[in-house]
Amino acid sequence: MKYGRKITGGKYHKFRKKKKFSLQGTHNKVKLRETKKKIVRTRGGYKKTILLSIDYVNVIDPKTGKTKKVKIKNVLETPANKFLARQNILVKSAIIDTEIGKVKITNRPSREGMINAVLME
């Protein structure tokens, strides 16, 4: 039988339309530029800070346990997709070049309002 039909030939009908909460959200790509943030209203009236672009990162030194805010120079490597590194898009586990050396991003920048990273040896 044709797709979307019962064995008898009758049509299947949707029981309801798609609600806003069941629709997919758009993917947000965080670029390496001057810092820009956006506050978005979420379900239940809560607010979420979304990062659009950033040029600073909070770096934790594993030896000392101290945190510094440093400027990002460039995106060196992204294990998820090599094309993201070419476009300077910041994602989790990307390796970036900063003023104090190579660091690895440990959080999801598109979901949080900042970037946290760990200094690599």
87's CB contacts (< 8 A; 6+ apart) are 31
Rounded average pLDDT over 35-56? 92
Per the model's pLDDT, the better-predicted residue between 54 and 24 turns out to be 54
Selected residue with higher pLDDT from 71 and 41: 71
DSSP string, 22-74: GSPPPP--EEESS-EEEEEE-TTS-EEEEEEEESEEEEE-TTT--EEEEEEEE
CA distance 59 to 64: 12
Architecture of domain 28-119 in CATH?
Roll (3.10)
Domain ranges of the chain: 28-119
Can you tell me the mean pLDDT for 75-79? 95
In the chain, the amino acid numbered 53 is S
User: Has residue 1 got a pLDDT over 60?
Assistant: no
* Per-residue confidence band for 67, with pLDDT thresholds at 50, 70 and 90: very high
Q: What is the mean pLDDT of the chain?
A: 91
Q: What's the pTM value of the predicted model, to 2 decimals?
A: 0.79
